[in-house]
Chains A and B, each alone.
Chain A
């Protein structure tokens, strides 16, 4: 079946502009995660959605970052007033979700490479 898809694959923007990154998880997966991969910080967690529960936003680096998940499926990560330090690859992952106990495998999308000039 189809895996996790993300769009766009590449995004170049100017400092100060807003950007939206999209993630389509695997059908039927109730858990969705956003991570960021950058040279200086490695792979870091941003936000986690599980079903209808309130999202875990503990990894968002500032209030310029927000995310939503509509209808329990597609998610959008929004970065407002982008800064050069936001340049990174933004990864989305999905999994079957809570109730499966430990070791729930997360399946990653190809990522969106964001470059802020």
Chain B
């Protein structure tokens, strides 16, 4: 079955540091890949996504590239801000009737000023 392995947290960084959160997956076929974010006290919201190999998703300065050869979708940001403190979830879905999401365990990110 499908699975997502995500970098264990928590991660603590100083403001303006470079961020990488690793994510690898196991899936049959051609899944779509997602990063969801959960800010303190808020619900899950989509951060970015990619639907095919070599696609790059980007939003709010975050980027992730769908790497089929390494089955990875690592999240990166060049300069983090305090407001990026949140829990980040990597996820995948199948296609055409199999779109339920399989999530990683989540990575709690804390940015200190």
Contact = CB atoms under 8 A, between A and B. Distances in A.
Nearest to A6: B43
Given A45-B100, A108-B44, A102 B32 contact: yes
Interface string A41-68: 0111100101001001001000000000
Contacts of A105: 46, 49
Most buried by A among B50, B96, B105: B96
B11 interface: no
Given A105-B49, A108-B43, A48 B99 contact: yes
Contacts of A50: 97
B97 A33 contact: no
Interface of B: 30-32, 34, 36, 42-46, 49-52, 89, 91, 93, 95-97, 99-106
Most buried by B among A48, A105, A107: A105
Contacts, number: 65
16 contacts: A31-B99, A42-B103, A42-B104, A42-B105, A43-B103, A45-B101, A98-B97, A102-B51, A103-B32, A103-B51, A105-B49, A106-B99, A108-B43, A109-B43, A110-B42, A110-B43
A114 interface: no
A23 interface: no
Contacts of A25: none
Interface of A: 31, 33, 35, 42-45, 48, 50, 53, 56, 59, 91, 93, 95, 98, 101-111
A59 B102 CA distance: 11
